[in-house]
Structure 1
Amino acid sequence: MTDWQERVDAVWDAADELGDDEVIRRIDALAAELPADDPRAPFEQGGARDSAGLEAEAEPFYRRALELGLDGRAWIELHVQLASTLRNLGRPEEAITLLDAVESESGDLRDAVIGFRALARVDAGDARLAASEAVAALAGHVAQYRRALGAYARELAGGPDEPRDGAASA
């Protein structure tokens, strides 16, 4: 981890104590240390504004980070954060498309992708599919009732169902 990233992480670790304006100020100062074509700067600047509830200000920073080619785990984080911003700006369909595009590559952030997509699906008017996807993701984390939760997730999505007494099965 670079010294720069450690300093960024320290700002985020102290965000609750610092307050939104100070987080933005410090992140902007750190971003100014990087070359203009470094995608980490607008990614963090977008995150600072997003965290402060300034989604309309965050979106251009996130778009710039995408344009500059942010990569690795931060690329998935960027998609999650931009999708959340788009949802909050009243554009849930865009958020869903953005998250659909990264789900297969999201690794340990897959459940976050699914969770934020479920929120967007609710806003887009598809609460049953949102619940189905969220329950299916949850099923992967439980030992007991995994089979039943999977069946209920499929039922919510309109797929093949298993007997209702499956709730007693593990």
Structure 2
Amino acid sequence: MTEQNSGCDRDTALASAVRLREQGQHEQARQRLLALAEAFPMDAEVACQTAWAHDVLGLEAEAVPFYERALSEGGLSPQDRLGALLGLGSTYRVLGRYAEAVDTFRGGLEEFPGDGGLQTFLAMALFNTEQHHEAMRLLLTLLASSSEDPGVQRYRRAIEHYAGDLNETV
């Protein structure tokens, strides 16, 4: 089999596995992706899809090495890289690996500054590490900048001000 045919087979098999996952056939998708990950161990996209297949089944611990591989190999689209950072950080948090979650989300925000999803999940991980002030600062700042709620917009300046120090009194 030529490398080009191998790539074509890889693409077809990957598309088929992703389709299975999207159709709710999660275990079948996971099995196909595991086989692909074994056949293409340095393929970031395959590793990323394999991680997601594990996550959707609640197999977070098994997802971690695939997320880590996907992020270390390079080659992911920006959208997939963002998704992998969110997935890995969230998975670390679910597993009680809070410091790793915080580090992952902070690193993600260096690459994708201002991403609301990363900020929100970072705030949850900060809460888990008892960094409550920073967690609230992040959430209040995000709320003030992204909410279309008229009440939030009416008090946006005050919310942004107090996001810096909730303990401030007059």
TM-score for the superposition, normalised by structure 2: 0.74
What's the CA shift string for 1:83-131, capped at 9, x where partnerless?
A: 11111111111111111112132267x1010011111111111233212
Provide the rounded CA distance (Å) in 1 between the counterparts of 2:54 and 2:120: 21
- Note closer, same or farther for the CA distance 1:12–1:139 as it changes in structure 2 (3 Å cut): farther
Q: Give the conservation status (yes or no) of the 8 Å contact 1:42–1:64.
A: yes
2:118 alignment partner AA: V
For the aligned residue pairs, the C-alpha RMSD in angstroms reads: 2.8
Aligned to 1:43: 48
Identity rate, percent? 29
Q: Are 1:153 and 2:163 counterparts?
A: yes
Q: Give the conservation status (yes or no) of the 8 Å contact 1:83–1:96.
A: yes
Q: Are 1:106 and 2:112 counterparts?
A: yes
In the comparison of the two structures, how many residue pairs are matched? 154
- Give the SS at the match of 1:102: helix
Give the C-alpha shift of residue 57 in structure 1. 0.5
- Note closer, same or farther for the CA distance 1:12–1:149 as it changes in structure 2 (3 Å cut): farther
Q: Find the partner of 1:66 among 33, 49, 71.
A: 71
Gaps (5+ residues) in structure 1?
A: 164-170
Provide the rounded CA distance (Å) in 2 between the counterparts of 1:85 and 1:69: 20
Q: Are 1:56 and 2:65 counterparts?
A: no
Correspondence 1:1-150 to 2 at 5 A: 7=16, 10-15=19-24, 18=25, 20-28=26-34, 31=36, 35-71=40-76, 72-106=78-112, 110-142=115-147, 144=153, 145-150=155-160
Gaps (5+ residues) in structure 2?
A: 1-10
Give the C-alpha shift of residue 13 in structure 1. 3.3
